[in-house]
Amino acid sequence: MASESEKRIKNEQEEFENIFAILQRQLLAASVHFYIWEQLWPTEKVVGTINQYKGFFQPTRDAHNDRFINKVSDVMSNNPNAPSFYRILNMIGRNSNLAADINVREVKKRLRKHKKVLEAIKDMRNKRVDHWDTNVEGLSKHVLYGDAKRMLEDLKKISNEISASHSRNIHAFRYIEQGDINSLLEALKRKRDLDKKLIEYLKNNKRCQKMILSLMNASGF
């Protein structure tokens, strides 16, 4: 029969693993939202497509940015009951056997640096203007893209350091359908290019114009 000490150790391990699993899911969600937001960044390659459908892409991109911020806020929360890095690190601090290779003080120092970045990103979001400027140069001045990406990458690195120390496992923080976003943008770009060519062709072909007018008249347009 297990002693009280053995039961306590087992319960601590189970609690740690349950909380850490939730944290990893939150971090995966943050990665997914950031990746989509990143792919919808209006670079020169896709800005034309995004502008053509900005009634969809503007709120979609903003929503993924908001969700990314919310998820990162959750994993960096100081709330003692939240499934966050601070809760995980405090558990390791009380029982180093949970992740013997982790220097709790150093990891907390890394997290504190990212707190400043997170607050700056939140401030940027709260001051978001009503219209969406899809000018590449203009937008880059208002979005802390590089800082956000570096913060996310280090949070994933910290998670994998803890995971490797605890169970020798690491996580990719990716999802199978990640390529769908590029495929969608490429399909919309091809449609946009074909529409342009068709319009240009019709402009320069009077016979086609007459045929279209004839069909429209016959259809009652």
- Measured N-to-C along each axis, helices 54-75 and 104-126 cross at an angle, to the nearest 10 degrees, of 150
pLDDT of residue 189: 79
pLDDT of residue 129: 44
* Cα distances (angstroms) measured from residue 100 to each of 8, 16, 167, 200: 18, 14, 11, 68
Give Cα 141 to chain centroid, integer Å: 20
Instruction: Chunk the chain into consecutive blocks of 10 residues (it has 221) and report each block's average pLDDT, rounded to whole numbers.
Output: 75 93 95 89 84 88 90 92 95 94 96 88 66 44 70 95 92 71 80 74 68 64 52
pTM, full prediction: 0.77
- pLDDT, tens digit (0-9, with 9 covering 90-100), for 110-167: 999 998 888 888 777 676 544 444 444 444 444 467 888 899 999 999 999 999 999 9
What length does the chain have?
221
Neighbours of 194 (CB within 10 A): 10
pLDDT of residue 9: 80
Helix, strand, coil percentages for the chain (3-state, nearest 5): 75, 0, 25
pLDDT of residue 2: 60
